[in-house]
Amino acid sequence: MKYFKLPDLGEGLPEADILEWHIQEGDQVTTDQVLVSVETAKAIIEIPSPQDGEIAHLFGQAGDTIHTGEPLIEFANEEQEDTGTVVGEISAAEPGTSKDSFIIGAAPSSRNHQQVQATPAVRALAQRLQVDLNSISGTGQSGHITPDDVQKAADMNRLHGPVEPLKGVRKQMARTMSQSHAEVVPVTLFEDADLHSWPADSDITMRLIQAIAYACAEVPILNSWFDGQSMALRQHEATHLGVAVDTDKGLFVPVLRDIGTRTTDDLRTGLECLRTDVRNRTIPASELQGATITLSNFGTLAGRYATPIIVPPQVAILGAGVVREHPVAVNGQLEIHRLMPLSLTFDHRVATGGEAARFLAALIKQLEQPFDEQL
């Protein structure tokens, strides 16, 4: 404390006369050390120091009268105690500090949220009829769900079995395909690549990847992103290949980065990693984003030619079908060669038929080499 005030001396004695100071200004004192003798109507009392400290000032001299609550001594280098209030108690902070953390206005997740709109009565009805509100669309004004909507959904469920709303990857695929259909102007070119010069143990997927990289270098416009709204094209230096992977949960398209500069072994390892992560459901979202062109190798399953769907903002996708033995005419003679059917869909808003054809030609030329060598 800074000021030591005369304590209550008891028995209704508010005042005392200072008899003798036992210390001087400037002295260092310790707790309980006698500071001063005072005389009351009843007795002589010695007043001890309440704390260790240095005496800065003595209030009063011998002979002065001093009263309960009056300052007796000022200690040096002390903060004056301060309750910091005039009533009650304001409890003080724990030591330590924090940083204020707040968002001005609504949280991002609130801003972006689409909530099912339905009155409490409708919600109750849906619950009774065991209809999942998330699975139906509302016909009410501004899209809210009406009792009729719920009733119709319940009837449908009864007649045709329950409806299950799409989730996760399947829901995403439905969205993406719809978006593609709405925006992209697709044209598909079909051709076969003749693999008869390939050695027996060729890795089909790796050869396809390398061929795509080569073709993208030759005709880069098919390795770009297109924004239909702003009519703007973004060409890419590197080629990041989306590789379609089929699972029972749905279609995943992890991205193999920078296929144009990596070695075969590196690519093989990378692809295997991606496939493993997809199978184990540990693939992070970032690995599914950023593809500049996509490969759908359905040839591992079934099918010859297809019209694969482009994923915006990409402008091309290559489908590879089942490799088959097929009769071909070579210099007028009939031979049986192994052929790989290829389907290249391109976005005709961006690329011309000529560009797409040249891309396909380059791709096939690379593929038809015995080994993957830079042409």
Partner 1 sequence: MERTFHGEIYLTQYLDTQGTLVQPLPENPQLAERLRDCYRNMVLARALDTKAIALQRTGQMGTYASMLGAEAIDVTIGLCMQPSDVLVPYYRNHASQHIRGAAMEDLLLYWGGDERGNANPAMNQDFPNCVPIATQALHACGVASAMKIRGEKRCALTVCGDGGTSKGDFMEALNVAGAWQLPIVFVVNNNQWAISVPRAIQCGAPTLAQKAFSAGIRGEQVDGNDAIAMHEVLSRALERAREGKGPTLIEALSYRLSDHTTADDATRYRDNEELKAAWEREPIKRLQTFLHQQGWWDEAQEKAWQSEVALMVQGAVERYLSTDPQPVESMFDHLYEEMPSSVQEQRDWAQVKAMKGGSHHES
Partner 2 sequence: MSHNITMVEAVNLALKRAMHNSEDVVVLGEDVGPNGGVFRATVDLRDEFGPRRVLDTPLAEAMIAGLSIGMAAQGLKPVAEIQFMGFIFPTLEQIMCHAARLRNRTRGRLSCPMVLRAPFGGGIHAPEHHSESTEALLAHIPGLRVVIPSSPARAYGLLLAAIECPDPVIFLEPKRIYRASKQAVEDNGIALPLDTCFTLREGSDITLISWGAMITETLQAADQLASQGISAEVIDVASVSPLDSETLLASVQKTGRCVIIHEAPRSGGVGAEISAILAEKGLLALQAPIARVTGYDTVMPYYRLEQHYLPNTQDILESAQQTLSFS
Binding site for partner 1 (CB under 8 A): 3, 8, 11-12, 14-15, 59-60, 64-71, 80-83, 85-89
**What is the spatial distance between Cα 10 and Cα 252, in angstroms, rounded to a whole number?**
87
From partner 1, partner 2, none, interface partner of 118 (C-beta below 5 to 8 A by class): partner 2
> Which 8-state DSSP code applies to residue 22?
S
Pattern 83-112, partner 2, x by CB under 8 A = -xxxxxxxxxxx-xxxxxxxxxxxxxxxx-
User: What is the closest distance, in whole angstroms, from the C-beta atom of residue 89 to partner 1 in the complex?
Assistant: 8
308: which residues sit within 8 A by CB, 6+ positions away? 188, 294, 296, 317, 318, 319, 343, 345
234 φ, ψ to 5°? Answer: -115, 110
**What is the spatial distance between Cα 136 and Cα 303, in angstroms, rounded to a whole number?**
35
Nearer to partner 2 (CB atom), residue 110 or residue 269:
110
Q: Which of 336, 343, 348 is nearest to 363 (CA)?
A: 343
Q: What is the H or E stretch that residue 354 is in?
A: helix 353-367
User: What is the closest distance, in whole angstroms, from the C-beta atom of residue 27 to partner 1 in the complex?
Assistant: 20
Would you count residue 159 as binding partner 2 (CB under 8 A)?
Answer: no
Nearer to partner 2 (CB atom), residue 98 or residue 333:
98
Nearer to partner 1 (CB atom), residue 65 or residue 139:
65
From partner 2, partner 1, none, interface partner of 67 (C-beta below 5 to 8 A by class): partner 1
User: What is the closest distance, in whole angstroms, from the C-beta atom of residue 10 to partner 1 in the complex?
Assistant: 9
Please report, for residues 38, 97, 168, 169, 226, the alpha-carbon distance to residue 174 in angstroms, rounded to integers and kept in the order given.
94, 49, 10, 9, 21
147 φ, ψ to 5°? Answer: -60, -40
From partner 2, partner 1, none, interface partner of 60 (C-beta below 5 to 8 A by class): partner 1
Name residue 54's beta-bridge partners. Answer: 28
Number of residues that bind partner 2 (CB under 8 A): 38
Nearer to partner 2 (CB atom), residue 99 or residue 281:
99
> Which 8-state DSSP code applies to residue 289?
S
User: What is the closest distance, in whole angstroms, from the C-beta atom of residue 92 to partner 1 in the complex?
Assistant: 14
> Which 8-state DSSP code applies to residue 93?
P
Would you count residue 331 as binding partner 2 (CB under 8 A)?
Answer: no
Phi/psi-derived region of residue 259, left when phi > 0, alpha when psi is between -120 and 50, beta in every other case: alpha
From partner 1, partner 2, none, interface partner of 11 (C-beta below 5 to 8 A by class): partner 1
Site for partner 2 in 120-149 (CB under 8 A): 120, 123, 127, 144
Would you count residue 200 as binding partner 2 (CB under 8 A)?
Answer: no
Residue 179 identity: Q
Nearer to partner 1 (CB atom), residue 63 or residue 354:
63
From partner 2, partner 1, none, interface partner of 107 (C-beta below 5 to 8 A by class): partner 2
Q: Which of 294, 354, 351, 289 is nearest to 320 (CA)?
A: 294
Site for partner 2, rule CB under 8 A: 82, 84-94, 96-111, 113, 115-120, 123, 127, 144
